[in-house]
Amino acid sequence: MAGRLEGKAAVVTAAGQGIGRAIAENFVREGARVWATDVDEAKLADIGAAESRRLDVLSDEAVAALAAEAGRVDILVNAAGYVHHGTVLETTNRDWDFSFDLNVKSMHRTIGAFLPGMLEAGSGSVINISSGASSIRAAANRYVYGATKAAVIGLTKAVALDFIRRGIRCNAICPGTVQSPSLDGRIEALSAASGQSPDAVRQMFVDRQPMGRLGTAAEIAALATYLASDESRFTTGQAMLVDGGWTL
């Protein structure tokens, strides 16, 4: 099924690598005009037919400027996020504030900027990246991360309900552990902190997956494409797990 997003315009945050990039590339293949954004514009250099823009989702002004340039879009994907490692005892106020700003308030900014255009058109799909480690299930040493991703689910449901009669759909994707450059960085950091080899730390992540493997960014992008398309027009307010059975 090609051309599932033909004629649609989409904005994707954190499109430079990992899940965000896989989503942006999939959207392009399916015919959408994609505004691929990232705080590191160099990561967008070879993303193909997408419109590449630097975007700091922590900046009200930057988000507003992109919304003014892009105009009305049909799809908004909020993929920007940060994984803090630690319990409440290892989480400073600065860690808490930064995590909520990047993982939650950034979505408040982007939805607030792009929703008016969707409402004017009478249709739109907002897709927020949450996590299985949220209100769905706790994960060890993910204190503030889990709190932010639980908030994303609450935010998603609120937007879905408030605009359900006005053509707006809002859903959250809740991945399990997915192979990505971000995961590679966390593995290296945990290896350095624990004294274990990177291979041993990676195996720890694999061993906790019921399927015995990590997820892929392409598997998350496949669900995002469905939620962006008209195929999912009867689906809203859902926290959809793609976690290899981790939350069973």
Active-site amino acid positions: 145
Please give the Cα distance from 23 to 44 (Å, whole number). Answer: 13
Beta bridge partners of 33: 9
Max Cα-Cα span within the chain: 55
Which residues have CB under 8 Å from 129's CB, separation 6+?
Answer: 19, 20, 77, 78, 79, 81, 152, 172, 173, 175, 220
Please give the Cα distance from 92 to 112 (Å, whole number). Answer: 29
Residue type, 149: K
Query: Apex CA 177: angle with CA 53 and CA 234, to 5°?
Result: 70
What is the Cα 146 distance to its own chain's centre? 14
Burial of 214 per CB tally in 10 Å (0-12, 13-18, 19+)? middle
How many other β-carbons are positioned within 10 Å of the β-carbon of residue 218? Answer: 14
Please give the Cα distance from 150 to 142 (Å, whole number). Answer: 12
Please give the Cα distance from 243 to 95 (Å, whole number). Answer: 26
- Please report which residue ranges of 122-180 form alpha helices under DSSP H: 143-162
